[in-house]
Amino acid sequence: MMLLHANGPISLEHTLGSGQAFRWRRDAGLRESGPHGDWRRDGDWWLGVVEGTVYRVRQEGPQAIAFTCGPLDEQAAAPLLTSYLRLDDDLPALYRRLRGDRRLGAAMRQYEGLRLVRQAPWECLVTFVISAYSNIPRIARHVEDLAQTFGDTLEFAGETHHRFPSPAQLAETGEPWFREHGFGYRARYLSRLSVLVMPLGDLTALRRAPFQEARSVLLALPGVGEKVADCVLAFSLDQGEAFPVDVHVRRAVQVWYGEGEERSDRWVREWAHERFGPDAAYAQQYLFHYQRQRGR
DNA sequence: AACCAGGTCCGAT
DNA sequence: ATCGGACATGGT
């Protein structure tokens, strides 16, 4: 087990549970205890697969986490997990910049430690094409189905897990397979996506590209509209200007900033770009989570 | 049992 | 440029 410290607060609950990434699940780490065969929780762990590594992560105070992993050793994995959870992001500075905003101020207090994640772009792209007009539990089910069916196996702590499949591993999958597995009308997009992405090479190169340029590349792909493109830009390509506008965020902005007037997605997006600039992606995730949790 | 879900695409104004 | 409907499926 290894400890990692964050630059400011980190909350696994809010980071992994706010609908950015879909391969994390709460893992109580059940361990047998007592003479009556009852089970007890061994802390509140999260279990997830990132690239080729399986992680078990738990909160270790407001600014630190502990983790184990495999098959990669912890020393080698530490910088990878640090990057994935963006533990180096200066959250206190972000809060200082945005705390003048009343709604964001409230959201940041309530969900302190919520960080954007830095996902693998290909997995993020497929995930959010799947996400279109769906819901979070179902999205997670589809992503897991793809991993188990087409991804390489990974052994960790006596259990078998799966990597998310590469474009090449998905390229042979035709529309009928996706239909049969409940992907609905997204089947047509997904069956074409791999083939079109392969010649683009490593999508992480888009992290160095200007925002609009990276966005154009994504928008040319099947099943990728403005919302999905902005999710990929925000959650995998370090593009802080991205502001994904879904039904929740549009409502939130209409009510909180738009005097309740009907606003188009374009209006909301441009308003956010003007107001938040390079902090737009973070602002969006706080507003999204705030709005979505509000009704529960 | 309707209604909605982290939308996109396409054809018609 | 913008608008409206079609598109599959499952959760609440």
| Tokens encoding A84 | 């994935």
Domains belonging to chain A, first-starting first, are 2-110 (3.30.310.260), 121-232 (1.10.340.30), 247-295 (1.10.1670)
Number of C-beta neighbours around residue A224 at 10 A:
23
User: Quick one: average pLDDT of A66-92?
Assistant: 98
Res A43 pLDDT > 80: no
Point out the least confidently predicted range of A31-45, A151-165, A211-225: A31-45
Q: Cα–Cα distance between A267 and A264 in angstroms, integer?
A: 5
User: Quick one: average pLDDT of A58-85?
Assistant: 97
Q: Cα–Cα distance between A274 and A280 in angstroms, integer?
A: 9
Nucleotides of B under 7 A from a protein CB: 4-9
pLDDT, residue A39, reads 52
pLDDT, residue A31, reads 57
Nucleotides of C under 7 A from a protein CB: 2-3, 7-12
Q: Which residues contact A231 (CB under 8 A, 6 or more apart)?
A: A124, A128, A131, A242, A244
Res A32 pLDDT > 90: no
Point out the least confidently predicted range of A60-64, A173-177, A257-261, A288-292: A257-261
The strand pairing partners of A58, in sequence order, are A45, A66
CA atom of A179 to C1′ atom of C5, Å: 22
A292 touches strand C (CB under 7 A): no
Signed CA dihedral, A30, A149, A139, A119: sign only: positive
**Prediction pTM value:** 0.95
* The residue type at A67: F
Signed CA dihedral, A241, A246, A252, A258: sign only: positive
Res A295 pLDDT > 90: no
The answer to whether A46 and A54 are in contact (CB under 8 A) is no
Confidence grade of residue A30 (pLDDT, cut at 50, 70, 90): low
Which nt sits closest to A289, CA to C1'? B6
User: Quick one: average pLDDT of A230-254?
Assistant: 97
Residue A175, H or E segment: helix A175-180
pLDDT, residue A235, reads 98
Alpha-carbon Rg for chain A, nearest whole angstrom, is 19
A133 touches strand C (CB under 7 A): yes
Q: Which letter, b or e, does each residue of A5-37 get, where b requires 16 or more Cβ atoms within 10 Å of its Cβ?
A: ebbbbbbbebbbbbbbbbbbeebebeeeeeeee
| Tokens encoding A268 | 């909301």
User: Quick one: average pLDDT of A223-237?
Assistant: 98
pLDDT (tens digit per residue) in A164-197: 999 999 999 999 999 999 999 999 999 999 999 9
pLDDT, residue A28, reads 77
pLDDT, residue A42, reads 59
Res A40 pLDDT > 80: no
pLDDT, residue A219, reads 98
Confidence grade of residue A273 (pLDDT, cut at 50, 70, 90): very high
CA atom of A185 to C1′ atom of B11, Å: 18
Confidence grade of residue A280 (pLDDT, cut at 50, 70, 90): very high
Contacts by A140-148 with C-beta closer than 8 Å and gap 24+? Answer: A140/A22, A140/A23, A142/A181, A142/A182, A142/A183, A143/A22, A143/A23, A144/A22, A144/A23, A145/A181, A146/A170, A147/A23, A147/A49
